[in-house]
Structures are given as structure tokens and as C-alpha cells.
Structure 1
């Protein structure tokens, strides 16, 4: 995290959820990675991991570290669920069986580096590495087309760059209260940096703690990553449904709630084949508060591409 940005007082308070959602996510969800199988070897998902019954675990090697992918096998299209910052694949465990039953599709979840069963990667969080992990995982799993990508919160950054690099692979995306480029103006980045400093100072007292490690690694690159992300564009060829919660990550800060919603509206208006859906009554965790809505939007996106 840059130390040169001033810690000026914010005009309205930002909740802890806002900080965690946009930098390292709900860091309380972090777990110490368990011993993994040989790269590429499928295993039955352990109940202890919180993964859906019937899913198999594949340890994918990419650049010297291993990433855990969980596959519920189906036919036809593939649905890839990408959780928000600090959350592992178990975030989606309740939705996977329903999605699989409703669509018959193959459903894939995965633990990003440093979370769940995946290896820790030292150093600052890099969105390029996260995109590479997802690309490598799908390639090694034999997924070559017809992917519906579902991304929550911080995963919106990964989705944007993944879609730019692989527009032919994605048939559509459902962005669930996801980070979107228009939100990350210089002013908004400064607000988030100023608010985050006390949490970062506390985390630095115990940097080996897995939760603190995840927060610090993401915060270290937050300014540069967010500044670059503000310039990113979503490919016009990839349809996208943007689901926006009522409370957003900024519940309690009306100004920032409005900025989040305005960014979503701006994103949708900036290109074709984009739809805005309001998740009334929902917090930032739309998949937990309004699972029926998320399921409906994913099913509609899959059906529209058939």
C-alpha cells in the first residue's frame, strides 16, 4: 500500500466490509492450505472443505504453485464460479447442486492462490497471476468454449481481464456485486486507502497469520492495480448481466453506495449485450441473501447462449 497518499478524513464512514470486499475480501474466510494431491489428480471432495458432494478436486500446477479446482461434471456448457476476495470455493457450495440440477452443465469452482486448498504465492497480489491461474486451470481441465463466468466482488477484476484475453471462451458472464472499472477513480481509491490504514497497521503486527497475509498482499498492490483497472474495458462480444445489491459493500455510507451503483449503471451503458439487475434487500453477499435471484440470472445466461 502506498504510504504517500494522505490519510485525510473521509466525508462518510466506510464499513469494514467495504475495505475487505475491495481489497482482501472477507479475510476471516481464509484457511491454511492443506496438503495437496499430485498435480492434476482428481479426488473426491472432502466434506471438511465445504465443497459440494459429487465434486472432484483437481490440483492444477501453474508457474510452480498448485491451485485447487472442484468439478461437478455435467454436459454441454460450463459454469465457472469465482468468489470474492478472501473467500474460497466453498462460498458457492450451496448453489452448485442447484445449478447443476437446473442446467445439466458442468459446474467448476476453485480456490485462488493462498486460499482453501491452493498454495500460497508470496509477494503482492497480482491480478495477472490470478487470471493466469484461471486460464491454466480451465485449459488443463479441457474446457475450451461455452463458459458462463460468474464473479463476485474482487473477482470482477479477474473476470474483466480474463474476458479481454479470452472472448472466444466466454459465452456470457454474471457479475454479482462485482468490482467494475468505472468505480475505481483516483478519488475513490484514495478514500479506500485512507480508511484501510488502521487495519493494515494491525495486520502488520502479525504478518504470518494467514488472514493478515491475504490482506497485506492485496493491499500492497491495491493502488497500482486499481488505477490500472479503472482503464480496463469489457469486450463488446461478451454478454454480461450485472447484479447490484441494495446495500452494496458500503452499507452506512450513502455517498459510496451511490458511487457503487452509478459505476454499475455506467458499465452497463458503455457497451452492448449488458443488463443491470437490482438485488433488492440484499447485502454485498447477494448469493447468500438472494440465492434464488443469482440462480435465475445464471440459468437465464446459460439458456440464452444455447
Structure 2
């Protein structure tokens, strides 16, 4: 599904192209004993700073950057948090010195050295919502607006939720201590991160557009209801906060519906341009949205009931706990596309999820027969 949407966005880029190309900078900045990697598309106006979700680096924002550069014309700043992507890890010996406060201090140092420590618009996704919230609390006058894309809120991360999460993540914490220091510190300090954000309430003066995915990222209706309630409560707390639902989208809504994300960011950004330039910016945003929506509809027609469509449908059912229904969809996909190694791989995964190891093994073998380069299937077969 993600590859399809990436292809869609690639097709849209010529519609947005301008004669001149914005200057792009990739740089490592020393922020006090370690270096953070920044990727910057230079423009004019209030810069937009992006905060990725947990486990992601700056590359996750790639589908949005070119359209936003064309629509807003402003500077776009993405970066890798310490231990992710191309960024280094602080040499601090104490694990607690690698939490959100030290991460923000490193970011603030980097922005200051790059000359972007004045006005900013913030965009956050998932775990990145903690960083946008705390940065806004520390710099309420500099932050002009915030766009939240299905972010984790302190109101959702209750003590019960955190206790369960930390219990479930012990194996990952132990593994990442040697394999991925960035994830290790992020997970280990998660409860302290939530507490730090709770101790610094989001400034009432900063306008917010809070976009929430319709599809919750876990097959748990109770938790999905809690997630939506937390966002509704946050949006209702101040009159300058607007709530939007990204219908038909999952957690990475800005990949599944980039036009919605671009439009929301452009809407939040427009007031920073002043009354003279805002209408022009919104006109460009509208033109992009119309073109993107039209192209998306055309490609959806071609995509409907294709191999990829059935595969995505099956995985949606699997995430929702509808394993038997998912199996029927995956079976249908192998009947309609008998030469697809991927179709048999998905069916095998569904059988494995249902506890039927024999049929999982049979279908993984069929997948490898059709696609000998399916390394994942080969590795799973070793365990079976």
C-alpha cells in the first residue's frame, strides 16, 4: 500500500514543479559531544520543523517535503533524533541523561547553530507529538502553530497503559541495548517522557490542527475509543484547536493521504504569511488538493480489487483480529494471482497467525518456489 501511495505522489510531482529548485542541505551539527543530522529544504518565511514518530528517522517525511515546498515556499527542517538515522548518540553514561529533555536541548542547540531558533511551525507524528508539545511549552512565543498527525497524547498514556507497555517491551529493551541505542533510550525513558510532557502543559495561546486516523493502530476497540476520546478532550480544551479525522487512514495517515496532511499544514501555516500572501498560499494548496484528489481517485479505480488491494484488505482484517475472514481474502488472492509469491506469503502469514503451522509451511514453500528471493519466507521456514 505504501509503495502504491509513493508512486502516486511521484506522479503528482510534475504537476507541482516550478522552474527553480530549492536549495537542499544535509548536515551534521555538533550539539554538545555528539552530532545530529539535519535535512533542510531552504525557502522563505516561518520554517516548518518535523518531529518523526518513535522508531522513525527523517526519511519518513519524504512524501510530504516536495509538495509542501511547492505549496508553502518556506524552509522545511527534518532531523534524526540521537541514535536514529545518521545522528550520533550522546556519550552520557547515565541512561536517564538520554531522555526527552536532553533530546530537546540537543535539538535547540542544533537549530540555534543553523540559525532557525526563532519562529517555527511544528509538525509531529505519533511519539513525535511529545517533542512538539514540550518544545512548544519551552518556546511559546516562537512556535506559531502546531499540526499533530495521530500523535500520542499524555491523556492516553495512563499509568496502567505505561505499565503494560513497559512490561511488554522488556525483551526489546534488552535487545536494543546492544543493537539500537536510540530505540533503547527511547523505550527505556518512555514513562519519564510522558511525565515531562505532563509537567509542561501545552500552551493555550498556540493554535493546533489535530488530525486523527480513523483506523487505530491496534486491534483493540477499547483502546481505540480511549485514543479518540483523548484527542477529543485535547481539541476541546481551547477554541484555537481544530480536530480532523483522516477517514480510511491508519497511523501513517500522511503516507496514505498526503493531500490531507499537506492541506492541514498549509492551513496552519497561512496566518504566518500575513493577509497579503495568505490567499495566494491557500490558492496553491487548493490547486494541489484538487489535482491530488483527482489523481488519487483515478488510481483507486485501477487499484480496486487488484492483487495489492486484496492483500491490503486481508492485512486490515488480520490487524482487526478477523483472522478467518483474512484467510478467505488471502486465499482468493492466490486463486486470482496464482503466480504471485507475495500472495502465498501473505496467506502463509495468516495461517501462522491462526496457529496452523502446517498450512503456513506449505504456503511459505509455494511462495519461495515462485520467488526464491523471498528471504523472509526462507527464514520463517527454518523455524517451522
Unaligned runs of 5+ in 2: 1-20, 274-384
Indicate yes or no: 2:247 matched with 1:280. yes
- The 8 Å contact of residues 244 and 276 in structure 1, kept in 2 or not, is answered as yes
Aligned counterpart for 1:295 among listed residues 256, 262, 271: 262
**Offset at 1:276?**
0.6
- The 8 Å contact of residues 71 and 109 in structure 1, kept in 2 or not, is answered as yes
Corresponding position of 1:107: 76
- Misfit runs of 4+, over 4 Å: none
Counterparts of 2:102 and 2:175 in 1: how far apart (Å)? 27
**Offset at 1:118?**
0.6
Counterparts of 2:117 and 2:35 in 1: how far apart (Å)? 21
Corresponding position of 2:42: 73
Indicate yes or no: 2:100 matched with 1:127. yes
Aligned counterpart for 1:255 among listed residues 211, 218, 222: 222
Secondary structure of the residue aligned to 1:178 is: coil
The two structures, once aligned, show a CA RMSD in angstroms of: 2.0
Corresponding position of 2:160: 187
Aligned counterpart for 2:58 among listed residues 69, 85, 89: 89
**Offset at 1:117?**
1.1
TM-score, length-scaled by structure 2:
0.61
Q: Which has the larger radius of gyration?
A: 2
Indicate yes or no: 2:146 matched with 1:160. no
**Offset at 1:201?**
2.0
- The 8 Å contact of residues 181 and 232 in structure 1, kept in 2 or not, is answered as no
Secondary structure of the residue aligned to 2:250 is: coil
Unaligned runs of 5+ in 1: 1-51
**Offset at 1:293?**
0.6
TM-score, length-scaled by structure 1:
0.76
Corresponding position of 1:236: 204
Q: Deviations over 1:223-243 (max 9, x none)?
A: 233244344411011111111
Higher share of residues assigned strand: 1
Counterparts of 1:53 and 1:143 in 2: how far apart (Å)? 17
Corresponding position of 2:190: 222
- The 8 Å contact of residues 177 and 248 in structure 1, kept in 2 or not, is answered as no
Distance of aligned partners of 1:205 and 1:76 in 2 relative to their CA distance in 1, 3 Å threshold: closer
Count of residues in correspondence between the two structures: 249
Corresponding position of 1:201: 171
Corresponding position of 1:98: 67
- The 8 Å contact of residues 208 and 241 in structure 2, kept in 1 or not, is answered as yes
